[in-house]
């Protein structure tokens, strides 16, 4: 990350680019399962350890239909989509 020009220049624990713009990943995570929130928070914490700020794009998990509306529209405000599916037994 340092070699690519992303360094924490302001001491807040998160990296910025050479122009001072924070490196931030906006996440869309689908609600619905017991592990959806903990999993999204896990990724946010892991990115934080390497100086990348991860945030839920809407401030919360997104309901199924709204989530797929964003996927289909290729929402430019979202960098990463988290979703999961399960099958019955």
- Phi, psi torsion values for 75, nearest 5 degrees: -50, 120
Please tell me the least confidently modeled range out of 34-38, 44-48, 75-79. Answer: 34-38
| Assessment of whether the complete model's pTM goes beyond 0.75 | yes
The stretch 72-85 carries a mean pLDDT of: 90
Domain boundaries, the chain: 52-89
* Beta bridge mates, 29: 82
Q: What is the pLDDT of residue 68?
A: 94
Name residue, tokens 């122009």.
Answer: 19
Phi then psi for residue 49, to 5 deg, are: -60, -25
Whether 45 has a pLDDT exceeding 90, the answer reads yes
């Amino acid at each position: 990350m340092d070699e690519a020009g992303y360094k924490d220049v302001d001491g807040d624990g998160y990296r910025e680019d050479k122009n001072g713009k924070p490196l931030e990943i906006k996440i869309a995570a689908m609600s619905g399962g017991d592990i959806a929130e903990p999993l999204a928070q896990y990724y946010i914490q892991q990115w934080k350890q390497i100086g990348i700020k991860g945030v839920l794009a809407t401030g919360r998990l997104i309901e199924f239909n709204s989530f797929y509306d964003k996927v289909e529209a290729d929402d430019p405000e979202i960098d990463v989509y988290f979703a999961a599916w399960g099958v019955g037994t």
